[in-house]
Chains A and B, each alone.
Chain A
Amino acid sequence: DVKVTQSSRYLVKRTGEKVFLECVQDMDHENMFWYRQDPGLGLRLIYFSYDVKMKEKGDIPEGYSVSREKKERFSLILESASTNQTSMYLCASSVHWPQHFGDGTRLSIL
Protein backbone atom coordinates (compact mmCIF):
# COMPACT_ATOMS: atom_id res chain seq x y z
CA ASP A 1 0.00 0.00 0.00
CA VAL A 2 1.06 3.56 -0.68
CA LYS A 3 2.05 5.45 2.43
CA VAL A 4 1.90 9.24 2.50
CA THR A 5 3.06 10.59 5.84
CA GLN A 6 2.53 14.11 7.07
CA SER A 7 4.86 15.03 9.88
CA SER A 8 2.27 16.57 12.21
CA ARG A 9 -1.42 15.88 12.78
CA TYR A 10 -1.93 19.10 14.72
CA LEU A 11 0.14 22.26 14.74
CA VAL A 12 -0.31 25.61 16.48
CA LYS A 13 1.74 28.61 15.37
CA ARG A 14 1.69 32.34 15.83
CA THR A 15 1.01 35.08 13.32
CA GLY A 16 4.15 36.07 11.42
CA GLU A 17 6.00 32.80 12.03
CA LYS A 18 7.54 30.85 9.18
CA VAL A 19 5.84 27.45 9.15
CA PHE A 20 6.98 24.24 7.50
CA LEU A 21 4.64 21.34 6.75
CA GLU A 22 6.39 18.16 5.68
CA CYS A 23 5.14 15.30 3.55
CA VAL A 24 6.92 12.07 2.69
CA GLN A 25 5.80 9.27 0.37
CA ASP A 26 7.34 5.83 0.12
CA MET A 27 6.33 4.76 -3.41
CA ASP A 28 8.75 6.69 -5.62
CA HIS A 29 5.90 8.78 -7.03
CA GLU A 30 6.77 11.60 -9.41
CA ASN A 31 3.80 13.80 -8.59
CA MET A 32 3.13 15.40 -5.22
CA PHE A 33 0.44 17.87 -4.22
CA TRP A 34 -0.54 20.18 -1.40
CA TYR A 35 -4.19 21.05 -0.77
CA ARG A 36 -5.99 23.00 1.85
CA GLN A 37 -9.43 21.94 2.99
CA ASP A 38 -11.98 24.37 4.41
CA PRO A 39 -15.64 23.72 5.33
CA GLY A 40 -17.92 24.36 2.40
CA LEU A 41 -15.02 24.86 -0.01
CA GLY A 42 -13.78 21.30 -0.46
CA LEU A 43 -10.12 20.78 -1.32
CA ARG A 44 -8.23 23.49 -3.14
CA LEU A 45 -4.85 22.93 -4.74
CA ILE A 46 -2.05 25.14 -3.43
CA TYR A 47 1.02 23.81 -5.27
CA PHE A 48 2.13 20.65 -6.96
CA SER A 49 5.35 19.13 -8.19
CA TYR A 50 5.89 16.58 -10.95
CA ASP A 51 9.62 16.12 -10.45
CA VAL A 52 12.44 16.97 -8.07
CA LYS A 53 13.03 20.73 -7.96
CA MET A 54 9.99 21.29 -10.17
CA LYS A 55 6.91 23.08 -8.89
CA GLU A 56 3.78 24.62 -10.29
CA LYS A 57 1.21 26.90 -8.77
CA GLY A 58 -2.21 25.54 -8.09
CA ASP A 59 -5.37 27.53 -7.62
CA ILE A 60 -4.48 29.34 -4.36
CA PRO A 61 -0.67 29.74 -4.11
CA GLU A 62 -0.63 33.19 -2.50
CA GLY A 63 1.14 33.21 0.85
CA TYR A 64 2.70 29.78 0.29
CA SER A 65 5.83 28.33 -1.23
CA VAL A 66 7.08 24.76 -1.63
CA SER A 67 10.30 22.83 -1.75
CA ARG A 68 11.10 19.48 -3.32
CA GLU A 69 14.77 18.65 -2.95
CA LYS A 70 14.24 14.87 -2.90
CA LYS A 71 11.69 12.81 -4.77
CA GLU A 72 10.03 11.43 -1.66
CA ARG A 73 9.65 14.71 0.24
CA PHE A 74 7.48 17.74 -0.52
CA SER A 75 7.41 20.65 1.90
CA LEU A 76 4.85 23.41 2.15
CA ILE A 77 6.10 26.70 3.56
CA LEU A 78 4.04 29.52 4.99
CA GLU A 79 6.46 32.42 4.70
CA SER A 80 4.69 34.62 7.27
CA ALA A 81 1.72 32.83 8.78
CA SER A 82 -1.58 34.67 9.02
CA THR A 83 -4.82 33.76 10.75
CA ASN A 84 -6.57 33.15 7.42
CA GLN A 85 -4.20 30.26 6.83
CA THR A 86 -5.76 28.32 9.69
CA SER A 87 -6.97 25.20 7.91
CA MET A 88 -6.56 21.49 7.29
CA TYR A 89 -3.66 20.78 4.92
CA LEU A 90 -3.56 17.58 2.92
CA CYS A 91 -0.64 16.16 0.97
CA ALA A 92 -1.05 13.67 -1.88
CA SER A 93 1.18 11.76 -4.26
CA SER A 94 0.70 9.86 -7.49
CA VAL A 95 2.37 8.33 -10.50
CA HIS A 96 -0.52 9.31 -12.76
CA TRP A 97 -3.80 8.33 -11.14
CA PRO A 98 -5.19 8.10 -8.58
CA GLN A 99 -3.81 10.44 -5.98
CA HIS A 100 -3.04 8.96 -2.55
CA PHE A 101 -3.55 11.15 0.48
CA GLY A 102 -1.94 11.56 3.87
CA ASP A 103 -3.98 11.99 7.04
CA GLY A 104 -3.69 15.77 7.02
CA THR A 105 -2.25 18.45 9.28
CA ARG A 106 -4.69 20.66 11.14
CA LEU A 107 -2.90 23.99 11.42
CA SER A 108 -4.03 26.78 13.72
CA ILE A 109 -2.52 30.24 13.46
CA LEU A 110 -3.07 32.37 16.56
Chain B
Amino acid sequence: AQSVTQPDIHITVSEGASLELRCNYSYGATPYLFWYVQSPGQGLQLLLKYFSGDTLVQGIKGFEAEFKRSQSSFNLRKPSVHWSDAAEYFCAVGGGGSGTASKLTFGTGTRLQVTL
Protein backbone atom coordinates (compact mmCIF):
# COMPACT_ATOMS: atom_id res chain seq x y z
CA ALA B 1 0.00 0.00 0.00
CA GLN B 2 1.22 3.48 -0.75
CA SER B 3 1.91 5.94 2.05
CA VAL B 4 3.41 9.36 2.65
CA THR B 5 5.18 10.63 5.74
CA GLN B 6 5.66 14.29 6.52
CA PRO B 7 7.66 14.18 9.73
CA ASP B 8 7.32 17.86 10.60
CA ILE B 9 3.88 18.88 11.80
CA HIS B 10 4.77 22.53 12.28
CA ILE B 11 7.73 24.62 11.11
CA THR B 12 8.52 28.25 11.85
CA VAL B 13 10.98 30.23 9.73
CA SER B 14 11.90 33.88 9.50
CA GLU B 15 11.00 35.82 6.39
CA GLY B 16 13.90 35.69 3.97
CA ALA B 17 15.26 32.43 5.38
CA SER B 18 15.47 29.25 3.37
CA LEU B 19 12.93 26.48 3.73
CA GLU B 20 12.94 22.71 3.37
CA LEU B 21 9.86 20.60 4.01
CA ARG B 22 10.43 16.88 4.21
CA CYS B 23 8.43 14.16 2.52
CA ASN B 24 9.08 10.42 2.43
CA TYR B 25 6.92 8.05 0.46
CA SER B 26 6.30 4.35 0.08
CA TYR B 27 5.15 3.10 -3.30
CA GLY B 28 5.60 -0.19 -5.09
CA ALA B 29 6.33 1.17 -8.55
CA THR B 30 7.53 4.42 -10.08
CA PRO B 31 5.68 7.10 -8.15
CA TYR B 32 4.05 10.27 -9.30
CA LEU B 33 4.74 12.87 -6.62
CA PHE B 34 3.03 16.15 -5.84
CA TRP B 35 3.22 19.07 -3.46
CA TYR B 36 0.07 21.06 -2.74
CA VAL B 37 -0.40 24.19 -0.63
CA GLN B 38 -3.50 25.15 1.30
CA SER B 39 -4.09 28.66 2.58
CA PRO B 40 -6.52 29.03 5.49
CA GLY B 41 -10.11 28.33 4.47
CA GLN B 42 -9.13 27.43 0.93
CA GLY B 43 -8.79 24.34 -1.20
CA LEU B 44 -5.51 22.82 -2.33
CA GLN B 45 -3.36 24.45 -4.98
CA LEU B 46 -0.79 22.44 -6.89
CA LEU B 47 2.76 23.71 -6.36
CA LEU B 48 4.65 21.18 -8.46
CA LYS B 49 4.68 17.62 -9.66
CA TYR B 50 7.17 14.93 -10.60
CA PHE B 51 6.44 12.21 -13.12
CA SER B 52 9.82 11.29 -14.60
CA GLY B 53 13.02 12.78 -15.99
CA ASP B 54 14.96 15.52 -14.26
CA THR B 55 14.81 14.84 -10.54
CA LEU B 56 14.82 18.54 -9.64
CA VAL B 57 11.47 20.07 -10.51
CA GLN B 58 10.47 23.69 -10.45
CA GLY B 59 7.06 24.86 -9.37
CA ILE B 60 5.08 28.00 -8.86
CA LYS B 61 5.84 30.73 -6.31
CA GLY B 62 9.59 29.98 -6.40
CA PHE B 63 9.33 26.47 -4.96
CA GLU B 64 11.32 23.46 -6.10
CA ALA B 65 11.50 19.82 -5.06
CA GLU B 66 14.03 17.07 -5.56
CA PHE B 67 13.15 13.43 -6.11
CA LYS B 68 15.62 11.03 -4.52
CA ARG B 69 14.70 7.46 -5.32
CA SER B 70 17.37 5.96 -3.06
CA GLN B 71 15.94 7.82 -0.07
CA SER B 72 12.28 7.59 -1.12
CA SER B 73 12.09 11.33 -0.58
CA PHE B 74 10.61 14.33 -2.35
CA ASN B 75 11.55 17.36 -0.25
CA LEU B 76 10.20 20.81 -1.01
CA ARG B 77 12.53 23.80 -0.90
CA LYS B 78 12.47 27.55 -1.28
CA PRO B 79 15.58 29.74 -1.06
CA SER B 80 13.87 32.75 0.54
CA VAL B 81 10.52 32.54 2.26
CA HIS B 82 7.94 35.32 2.05
CA TRP B 83 5.31 36.03 4.70
CA SER B 84 2.62 35.04 2.18
CA ASP B 85 4.04 31.49 2.13
CA ALA B 86 2.50 30.81 5.53
CA ALA B 87 0.10 27.94 4.86
CA GLU B 88 -0.22 24.19 5.14
CA TYR B 89 1.75 22.04 2.73
CA PHE B 90 0.81 18.54 1.64
CA CYS B 91 2.92 15.96 -0.11
CA ALA B 92 1.09 13.29 -2.10
CA VAL B 93 1.94 10.15 -4.07
CA GLY B 94 0.06 8.39 -6.84
CA GLY B 95 0.68 5.94 -9.65
CA GLY B 96 0.69 5.83 -13.40
CA GLY B 97 -2.43 5.03 -15.36
CA SER B 98 -6.02 6.16 -15.42
CA GLY B 99 -9.22 5.12 -13.74
CA THR B 100 -8.72 3.34 -10.47
CA ALA B 101 -4.99 3.88 -10.58
CA SER B 102 -5.36 7.66 -10.42
CA LYS B 103 -5.66 7.73 -6.66
CA LEU B 104 -3.59 10.03 -4.48
CA THR B 105 -2.37 9.32 -0.98
CA PHE B 106 -1.61 12.39 1.09
CA GLY B 107 0.70 13.03 3.98
CA THR B 108 -0.65 14.60 7.14
CA GLY B 109 0.66 18.03 6.20
CA THR B 110 3.21 20.54 7.51
CA ARG B 111 2.00 23.87 8.76
CA LEU B 112 4.44 26.67 7.94
CA GLN B 113 4.56 29.80 10.05
CA VAL B 114 6.61 32.77 8.87
CA THR B 115 7.87 35.34 11.35
CA LEU B 116 8.70 38.87 10.28
Contacts and interface: CB of A to CB of B under 8 A. Distances in A.
Contacts of A35: 106
Interface string A35-48: 10000111111001
Given A40-B9, A103-B43, A104-B42, A96 B107 contact: no
Q: How large is the interface on B (under 10, 10 to 19, 20 to 34, 35 or more residues)?
A: 20 to 34
A61 interface: no
A41 B44 contact: no
Given A97-B32, A101-B43, A103-B42, A42 B107 contact: yes
Contact of B103 (A48, A98, A101, A104): A48
Nearest to A48: B103
Interface stretch (B13-21, B66-74, B92-100): B92-100
B103 A90 contact: no
A58 B108 CA distance: 17
A90 B44 contact: yes
Nearest to A103: B43
Interface string A60-100: 00000000000000000000000000000010101111111
A94 B106 contact: no
Contacts of B32: 97
Interface residues of A, number: 29
B108 A40 contact: yes
B41 to A, nearest CB: 8
A48 B109 CA distance: 22
A31 interface: yes
Given A30-B98, A31-B102, A42 B51 contact: no
B25 interface: no
A90 B36 CA distance: 13
A97 B51 contact: yes
B93 to A, nearest CB: 11
Interface of A: 4, 30-31, 33, 35, 40-45, 48, 50-51, 56, 58, 90, 92, 94-104
Given A42-B108, A102-B43, 5 more contacts: A31-B98, A96-B97, A97-B94, A100-B46, A103-B43
